[in-house]
Amino acid sequence: MANNKREDILKAALTLFAERKYDGTTVPMIAERAQVGAGTIYRYFESKEVLVNELFQECVKSLSDRLSSNLLNPEYDLRHQFHLIFRRLTQFADERIDALLFLDSHHNAYYLNEQSHRVFSEMLELFRQLLENGKNDGTIGALQSDAMIAIVWGAFVHVFKTIRVGVLEQSAELLAGVEESCWNAIKRH
């Protein structure tokens, strides 16, 4: 736990960015929620913009690490691999919903630097690899992988946004249904 304050700040910022976006979050808001002085934030991050980028990259890494462990074990068939990846995504959404929502807001985010955009695309490589394999063995449909990724990611995140506002209620059954839907969206028919 190298540095406690730094973690507190990142955690506070993440919650706020997920709820109010970058520009709707002020540095004093972050400081208050992190229970540190406003000046302290600047001992750990050069600026608000540096903070948001480090946080973004940390979130990408967090998701990436979860997804990439033992993922593409060739012993499993594609559907099962999809199930595993979906379960990991779900766990991530459960444990780090703010991180998921924050990651999803990256499109067109003028405050993210090139590195942030790059690590995000790199993370998607995992999905792409899975899909490519599936196309090779005839399990996955013919649509471009990037479109499929957009479909599954967009659907998945939007389901969790809808849960968050209370319109959907989370349950194992719901998530199983969503997984099946997403699989149907990409599998070869």
Q: Does 58 participate in binding DNA (rule CB under 7 A)?
A: no
Q: Does 124 participate in binding DNA (rule CB under 7 A)?
A: no
Scan for tokens 């490519």, then name that residue. 132
Binding piece for DNA, criterion CB under 7 A, among 31-39, 70-78, 105-113, 166-174: 31-39
Could you please report the per-residue DSSP string of 66-79?
A: HHHTTTT-TTS-HH
User: For residue 180, what are the CA distances in angstroms to 24, 48, 62, 187?
Assistant: 36, 40, 25, 10
Q: Does 144 participate in binding a copy of itself (rule CB under 8 A)?
A: yes
Q: Does 50 participate in binding a copy of itself (rule CB under 8 A)?
A: no
User: For residue 48, what are the CA distances in angstroms to 23, 41, 71?
Assistant: 10, 9, 35
Q: Does 20 participate in binding DNA (rule CB under 7 A)?
A: no
Q: Which of 39/138 has CB closer to DNA?
A: 39
Positions in the binding site for DNA (CB under 7 A)? 4-5, 25-29, 35-44, 47-49
